[in-house]
């Protein structure tokens, strides 16, 4: 689906390519820059779910939350004040949350008549509603900030798994992927069983899994790289996500 095409990764060379990540394109842009705009839009489209969850947690109805989220994106794309982020070499995740809080505070002060952005909404209602169904988290025990962080972490994983699955699908190995991916979180959905099912040697299954895990790790880092300004932040973010999900 279009929503998940948000981040494009150049994956051939094994190394995480920092020079062209979406967020760095946005940060590096001087003045008007169509490519920066496009990059920011892609990022917003990929990461709307945490933002929307934050707004909902403030007590807004789905419709209001949609309007506010769209309004926020419109504002963001219209006039971005990125200077501060540039100076701090900030991360997209923190930047969006801070801006959103700011935006909501202003919206409340103006007794909220947020105009819908002109033209098509960035995230179609359809997708919001599909996702709304998945508001199945321990919501009443979580603060809005925690919902945001949690959803952000899960969104990262979703993007990566989706991408990985598509690669296998295209290579004609979709069915094998469905089996192998279980091994990413579980040590033993019996290699022997997979080997039997696919008429492979057990050793070949093992190798195939190693390849999959390598690819997964690379894509995960690339995905995170899209949202940070400096390479050293990637591992940091990874650990941050672990702590978010641990508590």
110 contacts other proteins (rule: CB under 8 A): no
Give the DSSP H or E segment for 7: none
Task: Establish if 211 lies at the interface with other proteins (CB under 8 A).
Answer: yes
String of contacts with other proteins for each residue 135-164, x by CB under 8 A: xxxxxxx-xx--------xx--xx-xx---
Interface with other proteins, residue 3, by CB under 8 A: no
Interatomic CA distance for residues 247 and 244, integer angstroms: 6
Q: Label residues 114-129 b or e (16+ Cβ within 10 Å = b).
A: beebeeebbbeeebbe
Under the criterion CB under 8 A, does residue 106 sit at the interface with other proteins?
no
- Span of 24-32, 70-78, 127-135, 225-233 interacting with other proteins by CB under 8 A: 127-135
Whichever of 35 and 214 has its CB closer to other proteins, that residue is: 214
- Which residue, 212 or 229, has its beta carbon nearer to other proteins? 212
What separation in angstroms does the CA of 186 have from each of 180, 190, 237? 10, 10, 23
CB of 86 to other proteins, least distance (A): 26
Q: Is 105 in the site for other proteins (CB under 8 A)?
A: no
Quick check: 33 binds other proteins (CB under 8 A)?
no
What span, in angstroms and rounded, lies between the C-alpha atoms of 75 and 128?
Answer: 19
195 touches other proteins by CB under 8 A: no
Alpha helices in 79-143 (DSSP H): 83-88, 92-109, 125-132
Instruction: Count CB atoms within 10 A of the CB of residue 155.
Output: 19
Number of residues in contact with other proteins, rule: CB under 8 A?
A: 79
* 242 belongs to the binding site for other proteins (CB under 8 A): yes
Task: Confirm or reject binding of residue 196 to other proteins (CB under 8 A).
Answer: no
Q: Which whole-number Å values give the CA distances from 79 to 72, 134, 227, in the listed order?
A: 11, 32, 19
How far apart CA 95 and CA 201 sit, in angstroms, is 49
- Of the candidate spans 4-12, 20-28, 73-81, 83-91, the one that interacts with other proteins by CB under 8 A turns out to be 4-12
Which listed residue (18, 28, 64, 77) binds other proteins by CB under 8 A? 64
Query: Is residue 201 a contact residue for other proteins (CB under 8 A)?
Result: no
Decide whether 60 or 85 has the Cβ nearer to other proteins: 60
Q: Which two tokens stand for residue 143?
A: 């603060």
Nearer to other proteins, 44 or 85 (CB): 44
Question: How many beta carbons lie within 10 A of that of residue 180, not counting itself?
Answer: 23
Centroid of chain to Cα 85: 19
């Amino acid at each position: 689906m279009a929503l998940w095409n948000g981040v494009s990764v150049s994956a051939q060379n094994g190394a995480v390519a920092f020079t062209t990540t979406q967020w760095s394109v946005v940060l590096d842009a001087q003045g008007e820059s169509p490519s920066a705009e496009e990059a920011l839009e892609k990022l917003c489209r990929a990461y709307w779910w945490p933002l929307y969850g934050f707004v909902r947690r403030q007590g807004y109805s789905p419709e209001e939350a949609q309007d506010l989220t769209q309004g926020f994106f419109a504002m963001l794309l219209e006039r971005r004040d990125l200077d501060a982020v540039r100076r701090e070499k900030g991360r997209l995740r923190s930047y969006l949350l801070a801006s959103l809080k700011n935006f909501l505070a202003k919206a409340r002060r103006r007794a909220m008549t947020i105009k819908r952005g002109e033209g098509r909404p960035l995230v179609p209602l359809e997708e919001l509603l599909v996702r709304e169904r998945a508001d199945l988290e321990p919501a009443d025990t979580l603060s809005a900030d925690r919902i945001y962080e949690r959803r952000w972490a899960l969104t990262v994983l979703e993007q990566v798994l989706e991408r990985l699955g598509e690669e296998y699908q295209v290579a004609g190995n979709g069915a094998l992927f469905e089996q192998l991916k279980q091994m990413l979180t579980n040590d033993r959905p019996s290699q022997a069983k997979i080997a039997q099912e696919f008429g492979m040697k057990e050793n070949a299954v093992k190798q195939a899994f190693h390849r999959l895990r390598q690819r997964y790790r690379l894509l995960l880092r690339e995905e995170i790289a899209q949202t940070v300004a400096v390479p050293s932040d990637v591992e940091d973010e990874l650990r941050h996500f672990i702590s978010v999900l641990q508590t």
